[in-house]
Structure 1
Amino acid sequence: MMKENLIIGVIGLRFAGLPIANDFAKKYPVLIYDMEEEFGGNPQSGHASYKLLDGSTIEILVDPERLSEAGLLIIAVPVTISVSKHPDMSLLLKACQVAGSHMKKGAVVIISSAVYPGVTEEKCIPALERYSGMEAGKQFFVGFSPDDLREQTDSPAASKPPKVIAGQNTAVLDYITDIYEDIFGNKVHKAVSIRVAEAAELVGTVQQTVNTALMNELAAIFKLMEIDTQDVLRTAAVKKDFLKFSPGFSSNYGKSQDSYQLTHRALAVGHHPEIILSALRVNDGIGQTIANAIIKEMNQLNLPLQSAAVVVLGVTNKEDSSGIEKSKVFDMIEELQQFGLQIQVADSLANPEQVELEFGIRLTPWEELSPANAVILAVPHKKIREAGWKPIKKLLKNDACIVFDIKSVLDKKSKPESLNLWRL
């Protein structure tokens, strides 16, 4: 484990590899091997957060053989959740095969994928040993540092949380700490073990999953009571112990992905995680739940569902993001289409080709949208939040129409008097 003339190798681009490479390239030469070929050899074509830094000396490898030059290898590939709600480790294990087949003696391998406790030691290390022919802890070494891309991408440096790191023994942890402090300064937290670090990565995401589900259930209850949920939450926020969460579509599909990691492991060791599984069911079905509420409201307004024109604004996973993976907005649209609504969809940040390829939905440029009976503000990006009611009103046929403000970002007090407003 030598730090002099150290070269960093990163396996994976799309998940978190390129942002990780950009961080380490500030101090070290970096080689990336793009297993998924997600960028077609041109990482500059991706989202802004996934582009090479200007003047970067990062090398994108076509062949993984040069990974043997790296003294530190970081595996940053996604662990997805299958249809049966179990973690799919295939890409992670394939990355371990690549690393094991090409790493040099004495290398340190860091797993940077969000995984349930035990994956690094029970699955990754055996795979690395099998393909390298070397023994972990003697001829190569292993650590863990979860990617925090989902929390940090749009955050200023000062507000970013410390990087969590762990090693299979004290010497490995000290070595990893020395390198990570070169990049992140004193914002590095040393976990007592790899399993603790793996578990800690999941705790915060499970909290968000459960709390979002709670807010969605409260919103449904308050709607039946004809109480404005946002009025309730603003009032509740004056309480000292109030935790700020809002109802609506999950802000990041990775949260539920991570929660399923923990439920999978919990069931495997003999515990049925009732609260987490219940929360996941609520959040997984939120698209259909919101769609049914919209249909009910439109029926009460006597809008003809078979011919009503509806505009959906925003389809991405969260505000000010281009990601569409597992977005629950598409579930809502699919449910609405069952009722014969004439739906137009607009999103200035989503990739139109990707949306049409994956979901069969054609995005309409804002200026080409036809006047509608209803506007569903599903994912309010910054421009919409700042513009307020003015552009929304232009999309409606008249003031007797309805706006479904899922995230409650429009000012209720400045609503046109005859316009109908529905909030979750």
Structure 2
Amino acid sequence: MSHNRKVSIIGLGYVGLPAAVAFAKYGRVIGFDINQQRIQALQAGHDHTHEVDNIALQQADVLFTTDPTQLKQADFHIIAVPTPVDEQKHPDLLPVLKASKTVGQQLKRGDIVVYESTVYPGATEETCVPVLERESGLRCGVDFSVGYSPERINPGDKVHTFTNIMKVVSGFDTDTLEIVAQVYGSVVTAGVYRAASIKIAEAAKVVENTQRDVNIALINELSMIFNRLGIDTHDVLKAAGTKWNFLPFTPGLVGGHCIGVDPYYLDHKARQVGYKPQIIPASRLLNDSMGVFIAEQALQHLERLGSIVQASIVTVLGISFKENVPDLRNTRVIDIIHTLQQHGVIVQVYDPFVDATEAQHELGITLCKAEDLKKSACVILAVAHQDFLKQGWAWLSSLLEDKRSLVVDVKGVLPRETIPPNIQLWRL
């Protein structure tokens, strides 16, 4: 597909930047973000998220700017800002509303605004459009139009990327839908799927991640049961997986900006329309409890090994929300750390992917350098970074005291057949 639209991207994080670079192959893109440091880094050709490699970034025809007036150069605006939850787990639409205000102030007749940020069904038309109309003095459906195309970025995934993931698109009316489909279809090689309405596209996004959350919660609950039964969860799943229609979910921590957040948006909207969800909040509660469960299991095993918990050093490997990314958003590793600290354990954290300044600012955690790690009674492989796995058991052994020690393998990725004799392994 081809189009004659000039594209702007508002929000240059894990979602917005890959989109900006992809569109820039076919014409100049206006890349806007309110973070001056982020813009300066991108102008210098460096992406700290590692979603775009530096060479591709440097070659991309993108005007990186914090000046909102530059958005007037474009007529197809893609809003890709975060939509988190607050401390009460309620949707926090402030970032998307601020972005709507910024775009609305620059909006022209004939423009189209497409939202990629995760929202609950109805948010685009009921909450965002009024902001665009108020700030622009224009009317949606008459002077400008809107669409919704949910982001599907999987941080750290170099196989499923912006251009080769099927793109769901929707529009305020049929004409808008076709334009949105043409614009995205010009860069997304996997094709586009035309949703019947904006609300359906919004709902599809939250359902994608809510489904995963519920399925993982089931496996996490099974892991708690099997732990009491003294059988290995991964061995059970391997056996069950020989059936053709068994779903391959595994136990673990559920953090990040998608699976750990999106279900709250659907839960919120359901309650607004008078339905009290049962499975969704129960799954969220269970998944959010896994960090505490893992820490408590580590403490129990240390006591069985004869360690004095209050005097023990525990090394936590990895603090990002998933492997091979520096993203700290909604990481549940922090629950492991806090629980251990509450029991008097000395916790040292090592993560070469994560910026130490950001970890201190966002989580209050001081990261250790590899050479400064003290020998510990227990190592918790909380995040399965490839760098950790490559170094294997020899490296893990070097981090432990010269006695019977404990390794906690949260993701169940360490090979059991080569485990050293002085190490006791526990995994979900």
Write the distance in 2 (CA, Å) between the matches of 1:251 and 1:326: 5
Which of the numbers 165, 173, 177 marks the counterpart of 2:177? 173
Over the residues paired in the alignment, what is the CA RMSD in angstroms? 1.9
Which of the numbers 420, 423, 427 marks the counterpart of 1:423? 427
Measured after TM superposition, the shift of residue 287 of structure 1 is 1.3
TM-score by length of 2: 0.94
Contact 1:100-1:131 at 8 Å conserved across structures: yes
1:12 matched to which residue of 2? Answer: 11
Measured after TM superposition, the shift of residue 335 of structure 1 is 0.9
Contact 2:14-2:51 at 8 Å conserved across structures: no
Which of the numbers 263, 278, 285 marks the counterpart of 2:282? 278
Write the distance in 1 (CA, Å) between the matches of 2:161 and 2:348: 38
2:256 matched to which residue of 1? Answer: 252
Measured after TM superposition, the shift of residue 213 of structure 1 is 1.1
Distance 1:3 1:103, change over 3 A: farther
More displaced 10-residue stretch of structure 1: 67-76 or 48-57: 48-57
More displaced 10-residue stretch of structure 1: 400-409 or 145-154: 145-154
1:267 matched to which residue of 2? Answer: 271
Deviations 1:158-193 (A, max 9, x none): 994301110111111111112211111351111111
More displaced 10-residue stretch of structure 1: 117-126 or 54-63: 54-63
Write the distance in 2 (CA, Å) between the matches of 1:257 and 1:83: 12
Contact 1:13-1:33 at 8 Å conserved across structures: yes
Is 2:304 the counterpart of 1:293? no
Write the distance in 2 (CA, Å) between the matches of 1:197 and 1:131: 25
TM-score by length of 1: 0.95
Alignment of 1:386-397 (within 5 A): 386-397=390-401
Residue type at the aligned position of 2:50: A
Contact 2:381-2:407 at 8 Å conserved across structures: yes
Which of the numbers 44, 57, 60 marks the counterpart of 1:56? 60
Measured after TM superposition, the shift of residue 153 of structure 1 is 4.4
Write the distance in 2 (CA, Å) between the matches of 1:361 and 1:150: 25
Is 2:341 the counterpart of 1:337? yes
Write the distance in 1 (CA, Å) between the matches of 2:331 and 2:156: 20
Contact 2:25-2:61 at 8 Å conserved across structures: no
Residue type at the aligned position of 1:142: V
1:350 matched to which residue of 2? Answer: 354
Alignment of 1:8-407 (within 5 A): 8-14=7-13, 16-37=15-36, 39=38, 41-43=40-42, 44=46, 46-49=48-51, 53-150=57-154, 153-156=157-160, 160-185=164-189, 187-250=191-254, 252-407=256-411
Residue type at the aligned position of 1:35: I
Measured after TM superposition, the shift of residue 156 of structure 1 is 4.8
Contact 2:163-2:189 at 8 Å conserved across structures: no
Residue type at the aligned position of 1:46: H
Write the distance in 2 (CA, Å) between the matches of 1:242 and 1:151: 26
More displaced 10-residue stretch of structure 1: 396-405 or 235-244: 396-405
Write the distance in 2 (CA, Å) between the matches of 1:411 and 1:45: 33
3-state SS of paired residue (2:25): coil
3-state SS of paired residue (1:252): coil
Contact 2:312-2:376 at 8 Å conserved across structures: yes
More displaced 10-residue stretch of structure 1: 411-420 or 43-52: 43-52
Contact 2:104-2:131 at 8 Å conserved across structures: yes
More displaced 10-residue stretch of structure 1: 351-360 or 7-16: 7-16
Contact 1:12-1:36 at 8 Å conserved across structures: no
Measured after TM superposition, the shift of residue 154 of structure 1 is 2.5
Gap runs ≥5 in structure 1? none
Contact 2:393-2:419 at 8 Å conserved across structures: yes
3-state SS of paired residue (2:394): helix
Distance 1:260 1:37, change over 3 A: farther
Write the distance in 1 (CA, Å) between the matches of 2:173 and 2:157: 30
Write the distance in 1 (CA, Å) between the matches of 2:356 and 2:190: 42
Distance 1:383 1:332, change over 3 A: same
Structure 1 vs Structure 2: percent identity of aligned residues? 36
Contact 2:146-2:171 at 8 Å conserved across structures: yes
More displaced 10-residue stretch of structure 1: 354-363 or 77-86: 354-363
Write the distance in 2 (CA, Å) between the matches of 1:112 and 1:253: 14
Contact 1:212-1:247 at 8 Å conserved across structures: yes
Residue type at the aligned position of 1:242: F
Write the distance in 1 (CA, Å) between the matches of 2:255 and 2:238: 20
Contact 2:152-2:162 at 8 Å conserved across structures: no
Deviations 1:319-340 (A, max 9, x none): 1111111111111101101111
Distance 1:114 1:290, change over 3 A: same
Residue type at the aligned position of 1:400: R
Contact 1:399-1:416 at 8 Å conserved across structures: no
Deviations 1:39-81 (A, max 9, x none): 1532225222156623222112232112112110111111110
Write the distance in 1 (CA, Å) between the matches of 2:283 and 2:182: 40
